[in-house]
């Protein structure tokens, strides 16, 4: 029977090797974005593709491992921003900025996680990044809802409202951030200000134009 110590060392070695492979995958993703292939990642790691499959199963398994890695880091930054001892509007700005800074700093990783390659190689044609991206966004929405519940007294029906707000805010950040990353119509700081204004109720405070039927 294998000793607990031997089993623990083997587990630690496997986890360390998996971490090294994820770091190799990140280097290729930073270079190739959505077009990152299992062949290129295996070559970067100095192994054959079957060994890579042994650790992750397929490209979907590798994607999920990278998604968890980056989502964990992003959630930590979002929680840090939300916990800052500043005015609430400043916390909102810092939270939006934390998300936008993450996609601005590593756009190729963002594109790999959120957008399918235009053309996959035949061996990887069954991989649909778009289908795998939805759970990542749902996790962000649920986590943000949890933070809202923890910090705000929403009264009766508060959990439902927090989940609507959490997923709505994540959807807004994702949609606006995706558009902004493609077109860069303004600076990140300006985008943060515009989105904060929207969340802060400026839409309700504005008057309709005289020649408009209303909004």
172 assigned to some structural domain: yes
Residue 164 lies in a domain: yes
Q: Is residue 144, in this structure, part of any structural domain at all? A: yes
Q: Are 162 and 145 in contact (CB under 8 A)?
A: yes
Domain for residue 118, yes or no?
A: yes
Q: What is the pLDDT of residue 131?
A: 60
The answer to the question of residue 187 being in a domain is: yes
Q: What phi and psi values does residue 49 have, to the nearest 5 degrees?
A: -60, -35
Q: Which two tokens stand for residue 118?
A: 């235009």
Find tokens 């558009």 and name the residue: 179
- Whole-number mean pLDDT of the chain? 84
CA 153 to chain centre: 27
Give the per-residue pLDDT at 121: 44
CATH number at residue 193: 1.10.357
CB 98 within 8 A of CB 74: yes
Q: Is the pLDDT of residue 194 over 80?
A: yes
Spell out the residues 6+ positions from residue 61 whose beta carbon is closer than 8 angstroms to its own: none
Tell me the residue range of the domain where 92 lies. Answer: 60-204
Looking at the chain, the whole-number percentage of residues with pLDDT higher than 70 is 81
- pLDDT tens for residues 91-131? 899 999 999 999 999 999 888 888 766 444 444 545 555 56
Helix axes 107-114, 129-151, angle to 10 degrees: 110
Domain tally, the chain: 1
Domain-located, residue 3: no
Question: Is 50 inside a domain boundary?
Answer: no
pLDDT band at 198 (very low <50, low <70, confident <90, very high): very high
Using DSSP's 3-state secondary structure scheme, residue 175 falls into helix
Q: Rounded to 5 degrees, what angle do the CA atoms 50, 52, 55 make?
A: 110
Residue 20 lies in a domain: no
Global pTM reads 0.78
């Amino acid at each position: 029977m294998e000793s607990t110590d031997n089993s623990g060392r083997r587990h630690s070695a496997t986890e360390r090797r998996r971490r090294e492979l994820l770091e190799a995958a990140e280097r290729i993703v930073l270079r190739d974005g959505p077009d990152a292939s299992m062949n290129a990642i295996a070559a970067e790691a100095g192994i054959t593709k079957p060994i890579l499959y042994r650790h992750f199963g397929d490209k979907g398994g590798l994607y999920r491992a990278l998604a968890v890695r980056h989502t964990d880091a992003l959630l930590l930054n979002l929680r840090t921003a939300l916990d800052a001892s500043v005015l609430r509007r400043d916390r909102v700005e810092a939270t939006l900025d934390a998300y936008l800074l993450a996609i601005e700093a590593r756009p190729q990783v963002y594109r790999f996680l959120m957008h399918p390659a235009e053309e996959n190689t035949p061996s990887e044609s069954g991989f649909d990044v778009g289908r795998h991206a939805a759970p990542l966004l749902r996790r962000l929405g649920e986590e943000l809802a949890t933070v809202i519940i923890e910090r705000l007294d929403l009264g009766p029906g508060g959990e439902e409202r927090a989940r609507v707000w959490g997923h709505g805010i994540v959807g807004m950040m994702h949609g606006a951030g995706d558009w902004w990353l493609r077109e860069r119509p303004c600076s990140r700081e300006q985008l943060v200000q515009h989105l904060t204004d929207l969340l802060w109720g400026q839409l309700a405070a504005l008057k309709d134009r005289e020649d408009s039927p209303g909004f």
